[in-house]
Structure 1
Amino acid sequence: MTDLTRDAAEVRAFWEGLGLPGLIDLHAHFLPPPIEKAVWREFDGGGELIGRDWPIRYRLPAEERVAFLRDAGVRRFSTLPYAHKPGVAGFLNDWSRDFAAGVPEALRSATFYPEPEAADHVPVLIEDGVEIFKLHLQVGGYHLDDPAFEPAWGPLAEAGTPIMVHAGSGPVGTPYTGPDSTARVLARHPRLRLVVAHMGAPECAEFLALAERYDGVHLDTSMAFTHFFTEDAVEHGHGYPVDLVPRLRDLQDRVVWGSDFPTLPFAYRQQLDWLAATGLGEEWLRDVCWHNARRLLGD
Structure 2
Amino acid sequence: MTDRSGGPGVPLAPAVDGHVHLMPERLMGAIRESLNDVAGWEFPHGADVTAVEAELRRHGVARYVALPYAHRAGIARELNDWLVDAAADSEMCIPFATVHPEDDVGAVVREAFDAGARGLKFQCPVQEVAPDDERLGPAYELCAEYGRPVLFHAGTAPMFEDSAHVGIDRFASFVRSYPDVRACAAHMGTFEHEAFIDLAREHDRVFLDTCFAMATVVGDYVDFDPAAIPDAVFEDLAGQVLYGSDFPNMPHAYEREYEGLLARDLSESAFDALFRGAASRFLGPEVDLPAADAHPTDGAEP
User: Which among 35, 43, 59 is matched to residue 35 of structure 2?
Assistant: 43
Partner of 1:108 in structure 2?
A: 95
Using the alignment, how far apart are the partners of 2:263 and 2:180 within structure 1?
Answer: 32
Describe the superposition over 1:47-95 as per-residue Cα deviations: whole angstroms up to 9, x where unpaired. Answer: 1xxxx33232313543222222233331111220001111111121011
Partner of 1:228 in structure 2?
A: 218
Partner of 1:280 in structure 2?
A: 266
Using the alignment, how far apart are the partners of 2:228 and 2:154 within structure 1?
Answer: 18
Q: Which has the higher contact order (CA 8 A, sep 6+)?
A: 2
Q: Which runs of 5+ in 2 are unaligned?
A: 1-5, 289-302
- The residue type equivalent to 1:26 in the other structure is G
Using the alignment, how far apart are the partners of 2:168 and 2:227 within structure 1?
Answer: 16
Partner of 2:239 in structure 1?
A: 253
Partner of 1:76 in structure 2?
A: 63
Partner of 1:15 in structure 2?
A: 12
Describe the superposition over 1:180-231 as per-residue Cα deviations: whole angstroms up to 9, x where unpaired. Answer: 1111111111111111111111110111122112221111110111342663
Matches within 5 A, 1:1-299: 12-16=9-13, 22-45=14-37, 47=38, 52-173=39-160, 174-226=163-215, 227-228=217-218, 231-233=222-224, 238-239=225-226, 241-242=228-229, 245-297=231-283, 298=285, 299=288
Q: Partner of 2:245: helix, strand, or coil?
A: coil
Change (3 A) 1:277 1:71: closer
Change (3 A) 1:190 1:94: same
Q: Partner of 1:27: helix, strand, or coil?
A: strand
Identical positions, percent: 31
Using the alignment, how far apart are the partners of 1:145 and 1:186 within structure 2?
Answer: 8
TM value normalised by structure 1: 0.85
- Please say if residues 234 and 270 of structure 2, whose CA atoms lie closer than 8 Å, have aligned partners that are also in contact: no
1:168 to partner: Cα distance: 0.4
Cα root mean square deviation, aligned: 2.0
Q: Which runs of 5+ in 1 are unaligned?
A: 1-8, 17-21
TM value normalised by structure 2: 0.84
- Work out the number of aligned pairs and report it: 276
Using the alignment, how far apart are the partners of 2:124 and 2:182 within structure 1?
Answer: 17
- The residue type equivalent to 2:252 in the other structure is F
Describe the superposition over 1:85-121 as per-residue Cα deviations: whole angstroms up to 9, x where unpaired. Answer: 1111112101111111122211122111212511222
